[in-house]
Amino acid sequence: MPPPRRATTKGFARSAPPPTTSGPPAPEAGGILTIDLTAIAANYRTLMRRVIPAECAAVVKADGYGCGLEQVTATLVGAGCRTFFVAQLDEGRRVRGLAPNATIYVLNGFSAGTGPAFAEIAAQPVINSAVELAEWDQFTIISGWRGGMGLHVDTGMNRLGLSLDEAAAVASRIHSGNHGLTLLMSHFACSEQPDHPLNAEQIHRFRQIRTLYRGIPASLASSSGIFLGPGAHCDLVRPGAALYGVNPTPGAANPMQPVIDLKARVGQIRDIPKGATVGYGANWTAERATKLAIVEAGYADGYVRAEAATEAEPGRQVLVANKRCHIVGRVSMDLIAVDVTDLPEGTVHRGDLVTLIGGTLGVDEVAAQAGTIGYEMLTNLGKRYHRWWLETGALGPA
């Protein structure tokens, strides 16, 4: 089978190098988000070495997990990545501008009317149902497009994908010279839990369906699946969150380098008396005279609201002068109140930056304190921050 056609230059020029900063100027921003592109490249190479001889692709959907799709793509191309996964067609278009020779798969699949756009940027849909497959076949017959597609088989997630029976029923198409299938894939449901019995069951089911698709490259593992061992690697792995510093092995040491550092500015220092309440709902009451740092970030910036601190349940933590301090009261849209009473007098001032994510407060810990996961923390990162992409390996402004 000939390789997929690449994007033409007609109507689609290669993008300029991505910017190194975005958002409001640093002095005007409530927060500064630093993204270490060197760490992303290092994480990619760590995973790539782990899966040899399989190919290591990269998932850059959701704006590169909140880290900047263009910047991340350019970095990963430089690190040797040649296959990218996105969720939506527009993301694929953005990747193509920086990776003219890459293979691009669109995970959310194909819908009628999008065929010309796939052809224009030489992206491949991941077909997720028999209906999509029929629509894709109709498009390729009418248009003559031979760019290829992936086929998603559901082995236990019960979300997207053809059933095992449906996949078996269409397997004979690989004997056709124009079958167009370039990748057979599935997705783990519980790979973050290495001892979960569904992992072995999914490997077994996928191995069985692969026998019907001999000669077609196969992919099962994303970030955590890579750490289940060679039996999960197949021909291609497609890490996402691990590239951006999320721990793919919860409960064990994180093998990935941290990628983001998020700091927010102190807008005011104030003293409140014992018995005063803080924030919406007045559900936190000072048990002593308390010094607060009011920080200029909130849930509008992607810092998850979650549950408010109470007297019985201390708040989430931030780093003030490298010391852990508790958030008190509710996280509001634009502001956070932090108890800095125990810091030495004069330690924190209006205009100082406190660390919301970074240093000893990794993204997974911050997410756990908020009752969520690192994936959500990253993809929620707001646009009001001053964003700074570094290639030095040093996180955060001096």
Instruction: Give catalytic residue positions.
Output: 61, 280
Strands 323-328 and 317-320: antiparallel
> Would residue 80 be called left, alpha or beta, if left means φ above 0 and alpha means ψ between -120 and 50 degrees?
left
Q: Are 370 and 377 in contact (CB under 8 A)?
A: yes
CA 377 to chain CA centroid, Å, is: 9
- Considering only CA atoms, which of 260, 386, 280, 291 is closest in space to residue 335? 280
Q: Which helix (H) or strand (E) holds 92?
A: helix 89-98
Block residue for tokens 């029923």 = 169
Among 311, 353, 312, 306, CA closest to 330: 306
How many whole angstroms separate alpha carbon 203 and alpha carbon 191?
11
Give 216-263 as a DSSP string.
S-EE---TGGGGG-GGGTTTEE---GGGGT--SSTTS---SPP-EEEE
